[in-house]
Amino acid sequence: MDDDVVRTWAGERPRLLGLAYRLTGSRADAEDLVQEAFGRLAVAEGVAQPAAWLTTVTTRLAIDHLRLSRVQREVYVGPWLPEPVEEGFADPGDDLELAESVSLALLRVMESMTPVERAAFVLHDVFGYSHREVADMLDRSHSAIRQAAARGRRRVREQRPPFEPDRARRQDVAERFLEAARGADLDGLMAVLSPDVVFRSDGGGVVHAARKELVGADRVTKFLLALAAGRPDGTAELAWVNASPALRLSADGALVSVMALQVGPDGRIAEINAVLNPAKLGGIT
């Protein structure tokens, strides 16, 4: 790479990784797509605005990737969840909307969008590009992109669980959840779970995991207590992944699961998304 591309790499890579991750839900795929975009920049000629050019190329690569991966996800064993990432990777900073846009709960909702809807929603609603700018990036009409973004927004409005924006309150709920789980405290768990809490686990057919969603505080509590009893030598610690409180579960010193907690505005956990597929845990230390 020449010096200009190297400087652009240093300045633009974090933002592009954040974009690609929100578009794909995969850290590994995001890194590959951004690498590919920079590889194309290195051999391109006459690029007057490399940041805008890279945004366009990364987005188009992500759309192509989503179209190919959709077939694979249709035959995926059990629920499919995004690949969890530690804070800082997708660059949410202190912006609440950017932070929420990498939550596993919202990324899962984005899976219901078409690739163009997802790109239009992420570029316009999350990154703040105008509909006309997005239309130019995707070589679509202004009205088509406006409608695609609106459809994506409607899916989020209808499917995303409400969330508690206060970080300290979410931390407190997560601590009480962990304490109750460690103590096999049935009443304590019931107190921090929403009555209609949803539990999902993604083992990818590689490790044992529930293949259907569990709904309701009673069912989820019993499942969690049975899970804890089945791993008496396991350890759990609090962490923050995807801008949400989570539990890092380990056994014999190795990470076996990340359990992201979506805390609702009533101060109770509305969703638990547990990633067990080893292929998806490489970004968590």
Residue 59 contacts residue 51 (beta carbons within 8 Å): no
Distance CA 138, CA 3 (A): 29
Architecture of domain 3-155: Up-down Bundle (1.20)
| CATH number of this structure's domain 167-280 | 3.10.450.50
Average pLDDT over residues 56-84: 91
Using pLDDT thresholds of 50, 70 and 90, give the confidence band for residue 1.
low
Q: Which helix (H) or strand (E) holds 143?
A: helix 142-159
Instruction: List the one residue out of 161, 192, 167 whose CA is nearest residue 262.
Output: 161
Q: Please enumerate, as own/partner, the contacts of 109-114 that have beta carbons within 8 Å and a separation of 24 or more.
A: 109/155, 109/156, 109/159, 109/160, 110/22, 110/25, 110/152, 110/155, 110/156, 111/25, 111/73, 111/80, 112/155, 112/159, 113/151, 113/152, 113/155, 114/148
User: Could you tell me how many helices (H) and strands (E) the chain has, helices first?
Assistant: 11, 6
Q: What is the mean pLDDT of the chain?
A: 91
Distance CA 37, CA 252 (A): 40
pLDDT tens per residue, range 227-267: 888 777 789 999 999 989 999 999 988 999 999 999 999 99
- Residue 94: the pLDDT is 52
Using pLDDT thresholds of 50, 70 and 90, give the confidence band for residue 91.
low
pLDDT tens per residue, range 213-237: 999 999 999 999 988 887 777 899 9
- In the predicted model, is pLDDT for residue 137 greater than 60? yes
- In the predicted model, is pLDDT for residue 52 greater than 80? yes
Residue 283 contacts residue 275 (beta carbons within 8 Å): no
Average pLDDT over residues 278-285: 90
* pTM of the complete model beyond 0.75: yes
Instruction: List the one residue out of 267, 218, 230, 227 whose CA is nearest residue 247.
Output: 227
- Residue 4: the pLDDT is 76
Burial class (CB in 10 A: 0-12, 13-18, 19+), 114: middle
Distance CA 216, CA 107 (A): 22
Residue 178 main-chain phi, psi, to 5 deg: -65, -45
Residue 41 contacts residue 8 (beta carbons within 8 Å): yes
For the chain, give every domain's residue range: 3-155, 167-280
- Residue 97: the pLDDT is 64
Distance CA 283, CA 29 (A): 12
pLDDT tens per residue, range 92-111: 555 666 677 888 989 999 99
Strand partners, 200: 273
Distance CA 113, CA 25 (A): 13
